[in-house]
Structures are given as C-alpha cells and as structure tokens.
A and B are shown apart, each in its own frame.
Chain A
Amino acid sequence: MKVNEVPQDPKDFREGDKITKVMYAVGDDGKYTSVNSAGWEPDNFATKQAWDAVDEELAATEQLVRSGQLSPIAYYMQKCLMDVALLAKYAGKWQWQVKRHMKPSGFAKLSDNMLQKYAEIFEIPVSALTQFGK
C-alpha cells in the first residue's frame, strides 16, 4: 500500500471517528512510513455489521423479557456484550445457575445479595433489574 492509497473513510458510528489509527505504507522513496487513517470502508462496514447484530439480538431479547419468556438478566447480559460463560465467571456461579437466573422463575427466587451482584456486574441500579420495563 502506498502512502497516497491510505484510506480516510470515517468510522461515523459509536464515536468511532474520535480516534484515527496508525497504518504502515510505502512512500515515494520506497520507504515505509506510518500514516494516520480515519478508517477503511470495508473494515467500517464489518464493524458496523457486528454492532448491528448486537442491536438486533438485544431487541429480540428485550421482546422475550417483556413477554415473560426470559428474565432481565438475559437482557443486560447481552447489553454488556457478555455470554453465559463470561457472566458466570463475573458472578462466581456455574453456567447452569446463570442459565436458571435467565429464566423468569429462577430470577424471581434471586436473593437481594445476588441481585446486587448482578447490578454491579452490569453497572446498573438494582431497580433496573427488578423494575424492568416499568
């Protein structure tokens, strides 16, 4: 890649245009030099697509929580970009326990301490879990 070919396509979503990245490219003298790049369209597209997928899946989960098929734990887990394995590690629980908490029946039996723990992991107040959607 030549210096004048370094793309400058801004990553204009989720503050992606707040920083530029360093790329290495070849100058007219044939020597490598570092050049700042705002972004590259194919890479912006791939990143945007991944975030869109996160949004879509989160919206679907929100519906399931509202219709009483999943608990708010499932919603905030996805919102924090976690999966069951990662959330279980943060919560200090087994995965099967976290899966149970993701069901409304398991969620209803959660102690105040455990609710507090989940709230801290998700960086939200406890009421966001207990008053979900209200």
Chain B
Amino acid sequence: MSTLHFSHSQHAHCESGVTANLLRHQGINISEPMAFGIGAGIFFAHIPFLKVSGTPGTTFRTWPGAIFKRVTERLHIDIHTQKFSTPEKAMQALDDVLAAGKPTGMLSSVYYLPYLPEAFRFHFNAHNLVVYGKEGNEYLVSDPVVETTTRIAPEDLAKARFAKGTPEPKGFMYYIKSAPPEVQYAKAIQAGIKQTCFFMLSPPLPWFGNKAIGLLAKKITKYPQKLTPRKASLYLGNVIRMQEEIGTGGAGFRFLYAAFLQEAGQLLQRDDLQQYAKELTTIGDDWRNFAYSAARLMKDRKNDLVSFDELGDMLRAIGDKEKQFFHKLQIIKW
C-alpha cells in the first residue's frame, strides 16, 4: 500500500523529536533543540496530591501537544489536527492520510507499543510517534526515542491510540498541510524564550514553575518523618526517573534547552544567549548531582551519606539559581 520515504532521526524527547522529524520531511531543516526551545518545552511542576502510579506527580516539561502546536504556529506552518470518537474512524482517517502521502504524528500509550522494551512500558498516554506508511497489514513507525524505524500491528496501534486514563489520546493525530519555503527563526525564538520565562516565573500557584522546585525541596526534607523508608525511596526514585529516564536528554531537559540557547545564539549572532547556554549547562550539572546523591540515599537507606535535609538544600539551591537565570533571560533586549 502506501509507503513513503521518511528520514528518521533518533531524538531525546518524543514530542520535540516528532516535531523536528515531521518538519524535516517537509524540507525545513530544524534540530530537536530548536523545536524544543521554540515550542517552550522546558518547565517544572510538582503536584503532591496528583498521584501517578501511587507517587506524587513531577514533570520537567510542558503539557503534551504544546510543543508541536507552538512550533508550527510560530513558524507559520499550516497543520491539521483531529480527535476521534471510535478506533475504527481513527484508523480509517490514518489510512486516508497515508494514502495521500502524509506522514502523521499521533499520541499513544507506551504500554501498548510492543516494540519498546518492557522496562519503559507503563501507562503513559502522551507518547508521540510518526506513522509514515503501511505495508501489508502493518504500519511503519518512526518513533523518535528508538534508533531505527519499526513496525506495529493495527490492533496494537489502535489500542495505543485509544488508551484510557489521563490524558486520553482519543486517537489524536496531526500532520503538516503546507509549509512556507523559508521559515523565519528570529521572532519564533524570541516568542519561545519569552513564553518559557513567563511559565517558569509567573504562575501564582506553588505547584507550577520555579516555585514548585522549592515545594519539592520542602517535601523531600519531610519524607523521613512522613513516609516509610520504602515509600520515601520510591518517591525520590520517581523524581529521578522523570528527570533522567528516556526522553529528557539529561538533567530534566536542561541540557536540551541549553543546546537550544546555544544554537539560537549562533543563528542570531548573540553572545548573551551563548553565555546563558553555558550557565544553564552548569545548572543541569547540579540537577545530575542531585539525582546522583538521591540514588545514593535510596540505595543505602540507613547510611546517611547524604541526608534528606541535604537533598532538600541541593534542590533549593538549584531552584534559586534557575530563578535568577530565567529572570535574566526574561529581560534581555531583542
């Protein structure tokens, strides 16, 4: 049936990776960090009362779907997005779009993607991948977190696209209708950076943005009093996984965002952005140290090589540094 040529590149993060791959297919030579930065992908949130598999929700990124939407908006690329009421309609629509020669991005649940190693397959419903063709009964898949392209059976893909839970993908799919021959990066970069600073610094609620790093620090300090050692260890482990497991590029997207600032600095010939890239790299190294120390504490539940107090202090220091960092980034002259 319809098989088209799709040049697959492996990326750190699913959504910025899919965005970069789809845009490149359209002839726009964009890197993953550039897509991530323009899409204002970096964020922080810690919501203790929102339990994900029994542990408090922590994220280092913005909400799913935002990156693709913002990047295409800011680069004036015409897109189509759609949700569906039934798997049958969703799969039919996908077949139609593929027949028209459009590689299509979609949301899926990693639990129902058999080509991923079991270690990563839990009920996470906001994973992005591209389907770029169909051979026989199987769909051809470009999943940005995997090295090469792969295949999936239609039953599995339908399940992944109609997984239940929070959020529900409802077969959500998106593709590029048309793109201008040349894209203008300057304004898009500026808009992306401004939005990132706004989301990091402005939310008045303690659970979102920079304030939430301080909140997590405070909570961690109290873990020994409030939780069993097992629970405390699982809670800490979840933060490390969100920060370092597949999909962040290291240090909870901080390195990915630093790479964006560096590339933006080169493109726009601005030394200040390059300098900020270096500064964020240092902060990223601090996040890695935090994860390293947290893992040591988890491994040896009795031996206080690093106590929960010290971990909290480390996080608080990171939060202060990031606060200053985004304040400086917010007021640069364009």
Partners in one complex: yes
> Of all chain A residues, which has the CB nearest B32?
A34
- A34 to B122 Cα, complex, angstroms: 26
Indicate with 1 or 0, residue by residue over A55-89, a CB within 8 angstroms of chain B CB atoms.
00000000000000000000000000111001001
Residues on B with beta carbons closer than 8 Å to the beta carbon of A128: none
Q: Does B298 contact A (CB under 8 A)?
A: yes
- A120 to B33 Cα, complex, angstroms: 41
Question: B295 to A46, Cβ gap below 8 A?
Answer: yes
Q: Does B285 contact A (CB under 8 A)?
A: yes
Question: B117 to A15, Cβ gap below 8 A?
Answer: yes
Question: B262 to A1, Cβ gap below 8 A?
Answer: no
**Interface residue from A18, A34, A43 paired with B12 (Cβ < 8 Å):** A34
Q: Does B291 contact A (CB under 8 A)?
A: yes
Residues on A with beta carbons closer than 8 Å to the beta carbon of B240: 42-43, 46
Say which size band chain A's interface belongs to: 35 or more
Q: Which of B82-90, B246-254, B309-317 contacts A (4 or more CB under 8 A)?
A: B246-254
Q: Does B147 contact A (CB under 8 A)?
A: yes
> Of all chain B residues, which has the CB nearest A49?
B237
Asked, given contacts A19-B147, A22-B249, A81-B111, whether A47 binds B119 with beta carbons under 8 Å apart, the answer is: yes
**Interface residue from B164, B251, B263 paired with A32 (Cβ < 8 Å):** B263
Question: A24 to B259, Cβ gap below 8 A?
Answer: yes
Question: B164 to A46, Cβ gap below 8 A?
Answer: no
Asked, given contacts A32-B259, A32-B277, whether A45 binds B298 with beta carbons under 8 Å apart, the answer is: yes
Residues on B with beta carbons closer than 8 Å to the beta carbon of A25: 250, 255
Question: A1 to B295, Cβ gap below 8 A?
Answer: no
Indicate with 1 or 0, residue by residue over A1-36, a CB within 8 angstroms of chain B CB atoms.
100001000010111111111111110001110101
Question: B238 to A46, Cβ gap below 8 A?
Answer: yes
Contacts of B24-78 to chain A: CB distance below 8 A: 32-33, 53-54
Instruction: With both chains docked as a complex, state the minimum distance between the C-beta of A28 and any C-beta of chain B, in angstroms.
Output: 14
Instruction: With both chains docked as a complex, state the minimum distance between the C-beta of B60 and any C-beta of chain A, in angstroms.
Output: 13
- A17 to B246 Cα, complex, angstroms: 12
Q: Does B11 contact A (CB under 8 A)?
A: yes
Instruction: With both chains docked as a complex, state the minimum distance between the C-beta of A104 and any C-beta of chain B, in angstroms.
Output: 24
- A15 to B263 Cα, complex, angstroms: 35
Question: B245 to A20, Cβ gap below 8 A?
Answer: no
Contacts of B209-256 to chain A: CB distance below 8 A: 230, 233-234, 236-238, 240-241, 243-247, 249-251, 255-256
Which 10 pairs show the lowest CB-CB distances between chains A and B? A42-B295, A16-B119, A15-B117, A46-B237, A32-B259, A43-B244, A89-B164, A14-B119, A14-B118, A24-B255
- Offer 6 A-B interface pairs, CB within 8 angstroms, sorted by A: A1-B251, A19-B147, A32-B255, A34-B11, A47-B237, A83-B53
Give the A-binding residues of B (Cβ under 8 A): 10-12, 32-33, 53-54, 111, 116-120, 122-123, 145-147, 164-165, 230, 233-234, 236-238, 240-241, 243-247, 249-251, 255-256, 258-259, 262-263, 277-278, 281, 284-285, 288, 291-292, 294-296, 298-299
Give the B-binding residues of A (Cβ under 8 A): 1, 6, 11, 13-26, 30-32, 34, 36-37, 40-43, 45-47, 49-51, 53, 81-83, 86, 89-90
Apart from A15-B119, A24-B33, list 6 A-B contacts with CB within 8 A: A32-B258, A42-B291, A45-B237, A46-B245, A53-B230, A83-B54
